[in-house]
């Protein structure tokens, strides 16, 4: 949770010196090295010997979704929006997941889930409009669309990854390995060069290690060892509030009252939805 709370600030700082595609390519490379070292330290590299062609195809598909497409869209959103706007909007991915599970998994939405979604989407409207609900005018409609669109990509990735039978750590490593040529190739094709400033390099290292590497592995291990997954998953709801503190203190963003009100509604809606929703497979 602590690592995830820092990434919105890292995104904002890194995008001051880098284009989104360059930030993604650099962070992807660092994540590959990080995940390789973690997999080696945990003794999981042996799983790579049993790879089949189907595993490589799955790694290419999942890697194209995350990190390639997901982070490219998310970084573009952060490049257009203040972190205090992009981060809470991206946090609504759980609602998108529930909606996507209806046609994909055949789930039915309960009345409690729909009510919770209305509360959370009200929070989205507050943040997107800056509290100007009488006009509902967004400062950057494209940025808002990208931030919300990233939730669709992440939810799609989650649904596919939930049925992945590969060893989790090496599976994640393979996804990032197969994504690396895509992210580097896109950065090169769009002319997104790497500026070796201390701020840019620091952001690349932190995002690659903390956001794309260690945080996912730590979460997997926590879920495996916890007596109750509900207990640790609830901690995630503290992350966006800690993120706002860091955005204010480190990135210098003045947090708007509308952001706090909207985020409170989003988190309330997600908590209520979590209580009402069935467990996804």
pTM: 0.88
Q: Percent of the chain scored above 70 by pLDDT?
A: 87
Hey, how many other C-beta atoms are within 10 angstroms of the C-beta on 238? Answer: 14
pLDDT digit string, tens, across residues 217-234: 877 666 555 454 444 455
What is the arithmetic mean of pLDDT over 238-262? 88
End-to-end C-alpha distance for the chain, whole angstroms: 23
pLDDT digit string, tens, across residues 28-41: 999 999 999 999 99
pLDDT at residue 223, as a whole number: 55
pLDDT digit string, tens, across residues 230-249: 444 555 667 788 888 889 99
Q: Is the dihedral of CA 99, 232, 210, 47 positive or negative?
A: negative
């Amino acid at each position: 949770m602590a690592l995830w709370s820092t990434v919105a600030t890292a995104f904002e700082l890194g995008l001051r010196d880098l284009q989104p595609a360059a930030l993604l390519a650099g962070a992807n490379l660092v994540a590959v090295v990080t995940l390789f070292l973690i997999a080696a330290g945990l003794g999981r590299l042996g799983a790579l010997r049993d790879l089949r062609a189907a595993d490589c195809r799955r790694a290419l598909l999942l890697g194209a979704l995350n990190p390639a497409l997901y982070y490219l869209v998310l970084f573009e959103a952060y490049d257009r929006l203040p972190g205090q706007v992009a981060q809470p909007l991206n946090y609504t991915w759980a609602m998108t997941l529930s909606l996507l599970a209806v046609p994909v998994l055949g789930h039915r939405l309960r009345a409690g889930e729909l009510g919770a979604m209305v509360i959370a989407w009200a929070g989205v409207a507050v943040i997107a409009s800056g509290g100007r609900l009488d006009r509902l005018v967004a400062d950057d409609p494209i940025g808002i669309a990208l931030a919300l669109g990233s939730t669709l990509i992440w939810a799609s990735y989650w649904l596919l990854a939930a049925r992945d039978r590969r060893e989790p750590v090496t599976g994640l490593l393979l996804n990032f390995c197969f994504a690396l040529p895509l992210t580097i190739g896109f950065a090169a094709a769009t002319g997104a060069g790497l500026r070796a400033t201390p701020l840019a390099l620091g952001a690349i290292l932190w995002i690659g290690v903390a956001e794309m590497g260690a945080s996912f592995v730590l979460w997997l291990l926590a879920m495996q060892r916890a007596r109750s997954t509900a207990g640790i998953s609830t901690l995630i709801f503290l992350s966006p509030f800690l993120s706002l503190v860091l955005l204010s203190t480190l990135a210098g963003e003045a947090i708007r009252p509308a952001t706090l009100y909207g985020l409170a509604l989003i988190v309330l809606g997600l908590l209520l939805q979590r209580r009402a929703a069935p467990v996804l497979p």
